[in-house]
Amino acid sequence: MSKKIDVSKFEKKMTIRNIEATDFDEIIEMQKLCFPNMEPWEIDHLQSHIDIFPEGQFCVEYDGKIIGSCSSLIINFDEYDDQHTWDEITDNGYITNHDPEGYNLYGIEVMVHPEYRRMKIGRRLYEVRKDLVRELNLKSIIIGGRIPNYFKFAKEMTPRQYVEEVTIHNIYDPVLTFQVMNGFTLKRINQNYLEDDRASLRYATLMEWNNIDYRTTSPKRQFKTSFPVRITTIQYEMKKISSFDDFAVQCEYYTDVAASYNSDFAVFPEIFTLQLLSFLPEKSPSLAIRRLTEFTEDYLDLFTHLAVKYNVNIVGGSHFVEEEGKIYNIAYLFRRDGTIEKQYKLHITPNERKFWGITGGNNVNVFDTDCGKVAIQICYDIEFPELARIAVDKGANIIFTPFCTDDRQGYLRVRYCSQARAIENQVYTVLSGTVGNLTDVENMDIQYAQSGIFSPSDFTFPRDGIVGEGQANIETVVVGDVDLEILRRNRRAGSVNQLRDRRHDIYQIHYKNK
């Protein structure tokens, strides 16, 4: 009697999934085989892809091996020149120009391992792209396609003639024929599209597949002449109080002020919860901080309630929190829908380390809000330009900086760096600082602050790059409107363009924690 056959040993599973960092080496080696005369991806390119638009990067895994992949980004194609190049449409391969509010998925590469062709791997990748376009309700897929057999016919045909012959199937081209068979139609032919594509003589066909299921009623896709976001930044006075309830009254007062101006964000300063130490008897700074962490749940409950009650997103300054025996300086974002996010302070000052034993965090976070993507960089962190660049590459339009400085020199370090980050990254920055004195609290000596809201420096922004600023060293608020649509246009067509003009070929930032 014959044995039952174990079919599992014959199985070779094929999976289409999003690309992960562990796939990078295989993808680069595959690319060298697919395009031997062209420059392959670098690790930083692929890392940028999955940081910025992970759902748009796919690979095919067959029996544990990567045998195909494709990369893409979202753009609003109307904003680009008809004769754009591959470098322009992809920001030199880093896709930092990815626009989540765009209309079109732009495919920047598809490749299939030479040993696994004729298995419809490319078709599977094209289909998963189409599924993504339907899911995200995008208008179309646009691709700049190579014509790698054109060099064989260049002496007898113009690029247009060659494309026409391929389109009616008189000539076979491995790329263009495939695209036509997959429902793509020709829009035009671009010159000098890909610098190292010698086989195509640097020509490319601009092809489009239209999503017939596109819904024009999608609220995400409405054209905006402006996208104003109102911010109230609070210059908070540190004064003696007798209970947590006193603290809550002061916080609610300012939240109410922000709401009365119809603000989208209310921003409190760094470690302003140290005011709670003014009614505690503990004088040792390190022990007092441990006592302060006991108020964490009350603090979280208070600001969650205020954000929902007053319908305003609150950057809750920062607060010392104990986690697994260590003390962290954490800024919380309290959304007006009741959800909470947090950002650890990454760079700890010598004073924080010496007197309070604070530990630094490890991640640069960017948060989605109903007013776009934002980041929080606490005080000293804004003085490290790499952090702002990472946040903006992740999509941040506003960087909030709660701070606490004791003298004018410390304040100016924070201020000048905040304004520099706004210019370098074409982003809005917001400062919120503490004033007043806590005479009974050790290591909270004097305070110096002048809170403000800052913009890039160009014609469409305020003359000095200052949306609003308060008077130094008094208890007050600053209210100002920033316009995210103006920011978007400035990033696209400003007098200068610091984001798009970066020289990725000679320098780049490698962010280790993803």
Active site residues: 270, 345, 379
Report the C-alpha gap between 81 and 89 in whole angstroms: 9
CB atoms within 10 A of CB 354: 13
Report the C-alpha gap between 184 and 143 in whole angstroms: 9
The 10 Å CB-count burial string (b at 16+, else e) for 205-226 is bbbbbebeeeeeeeeebeeeee
Report the C-alpha gap between 506 and 408 in whole angstroms: 37
Query: How crowded is the C-beta side of 440, counted as CA atoms within 13 Å?
Result: 12
The dihedral sign for the CA sequence 459, 465, 468, 470 = negative
> In sequence order, what DSSP letters do the residues of 357-394 get, joined into one string?
-EE-------EEEBTEEEEE--GGGGG-HHHHHHHHHT
Q: Which two tokens stand for residue 113?
A: 């391992």
Report the C-alpha gap between 59 and 510 in whole angstroms: 23
Closest CA to 444 of 285, 318, 310: 285
Report the C-alpha gap between 273 and 330 in whole angstroms: 11
Whether 446 and 483 have beta carbons less than 8 Å apart is answered as no
